[in-house]
Amino acid sequence: MMKKTALFLLFFALLFCSQAYALETTGTFRIINEKNETIASAHVTFQEGESLYAVTKRGFDIEESNGNIISINGVYSNPEKNLHWAAFINGEFVELGLKEVSLYANDQVVWALKNWDQEEIMK
């Protein structure tokens, strides 16, 4: 009887404490154009710890070029004007690669077109 109880507890611990069974949660995403206008907003469901890239790709219509997001929901970056998509999580500029950044419960994500010459990108 003691062995069965120990095996059950071990199985239970492995099943429910494993990171493979991440919690499903939501976060708020906003897409902001170069005029600082919100053009899209959504509550997006994801697995806690999932990458910013994967969640953005699943939640919005994006286009990429050379590993960079160049369009979100049909709004394109404009390299001639140095307008590029920048990501912010909870108000902090994302400096790492999108696949390296993990999202967690209640994160607030903003994708904004920013002029990397004339603005402080960190804002």
42 in any annotated domain: yes
64 in any annotated domain: yes
Burial of 62 per CB tally in 10 Å (0-12, 13-18, 19+):
middle
Residue 10 has pLDDT above 90, yes or no: no
Domain count of the fold of the chain: 1
Least confident of 17-26, 38-47, 56-65: 17-26
Residue 107 has pLDDT above 50, yes or no: yes
35 in any annotated domain: yes
Higher pLDDT, 103 or 4: 103
* Closest to 49 (Cα-Cα) out of 70, 72, 73, 18: 18
Higher pLDDT, 71 or 17: 71
40: CATH: 2.170.130.30
Q: Residue 62 has which token pair?
A: 């994006």
pLDDT in tens, 61-88: 999 988 789 999 999 999 999 999 999 9
Range(s) of the domain holding residue 99:
28-115
The chain-wide mean pLDDT, for the chain, equals 83
According to DSSP, the residues that pair with 102 across neighbouring strands are 51
